[in-house]
């Protein structure tokens, strides 16, 4: 199996996490599934908000903790935002999330799954995004699963996420 080098970055403040999401949202190709992993409050929803901004979605993106899945169709690509925090086991299977990436029911877009650790069946070639708390900010490791993702992530430098320090 071919593996691709992961990319690590420090995210010093909320605006940096948003900037990473925006950078990805502007560039990811249709059908990309992001597995957002990380503890409570590690920045998964913040990253999803940035993804929405990068996709050109003007609606506010909230945590779908109770709705489980939110669909936003107003951007460059459809954006499907999933939060598995309240679910486990068979209840996760019963969401039939594969309908968001198999192209049979929904038009292909970007899928972002919070608490992706709870998935029992992984999508093909997911982009793993692991967030951790570090020094008051966050650290992120992005692990590409195919050559398209790897090539894109090679162009992601800390400069791309420069924000005014507050």
In the complex, the residues that contact Mg ion under the rule CB under 5 A are 44-45, 63, 114
CB of 26 to ligand ATP, least distance (A): 19
Partner residues linked to 110 by β-bridges: 79
Identity of the residue, 31 or 80, whose beta carbon is nearer to ligand ATP in the bound complex = 80
Question: At a CB cut-off of 8 Å and minimum separation 6, what does 4 contact?
Answer: 143, 144, 145, 146, 147, 149, 150
> How far apart are alpha carbons 42 and 141 in whole angstroms?
12
Is 21 a binding residue for ligand ATP by CB under 6 A? The answer is: no
Q: Chain-centre distance of CA 67, in angstroms?
A: 18
Query: Pick from 7, 32, 45, 53: which binds ligand ATP (CB under 6 A)?
Result: 45
Identity of the residue, 138 or 152, whose beta carbon is nearer to Mg ion in the bound complex = 138
Handedness of CA 158, 160, 162, 163 (dihedral sign): negative
Is 38 a binding residue for ligand ATP by CB under 6 A? The answer is: yes
**138 interface partner picked from Mg ion, ligand ATP, none, CB below 5 to 8 A per type:** ligand ATP
**Could you tell me where the DSSP H helices lie in the chain?**
14-27, 44-54, 90-93, 147-154
The token pair at 145 is 């699963």
Is 46 a binding residue for ligand ATP by CB under 6 A? The answer is: yes
Is 19 a binding residue for ligand ATP by CB under 6 A? The answer is: no
Is 13 a binding residue for ligand ATP by CB under 6 A? The answer is: yes
Which residues contact ligand ATP by CB under 6 A?
Answer: 11, 13-14, 16-17, 38, 40-46, 63, 85, 114, 137-138
């Amino acid at each position: 199996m071919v593996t691709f080098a992961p990319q690590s970055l420090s995210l010093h403040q909320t605006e940096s996490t948003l900037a990473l999401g925006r950078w990805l949202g502007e560039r990811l190709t249709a059908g990309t599934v992001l597995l957002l992993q990380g503890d409570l409050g590690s920045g998964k929803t913040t990253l999803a908000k940035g993804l929405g901004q990068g996709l050109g979605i003007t609606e506010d993106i909230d945590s779908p903790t109770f709705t489980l899945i939110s669909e936003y169709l107003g951007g460059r690509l459809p954006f499907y935002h999933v939060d598995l925090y309240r679910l486990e086991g068979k209840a996760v299977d019963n969401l039939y999330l594969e309908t968001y990436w198999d192209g049979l029911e929904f038009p292909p877009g970007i899928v972002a799954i919070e608490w992706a650790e709870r998935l029992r069946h992984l999508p093909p070639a997911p982009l793993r995004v692991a967030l951790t708390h570090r020094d008051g900010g966050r650290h992120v490791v992005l692990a590409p699963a195919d050559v398209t993702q790897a090539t894109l992530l090679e162009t992601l430098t800390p400069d791309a996420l420069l924000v005014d320090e507050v």
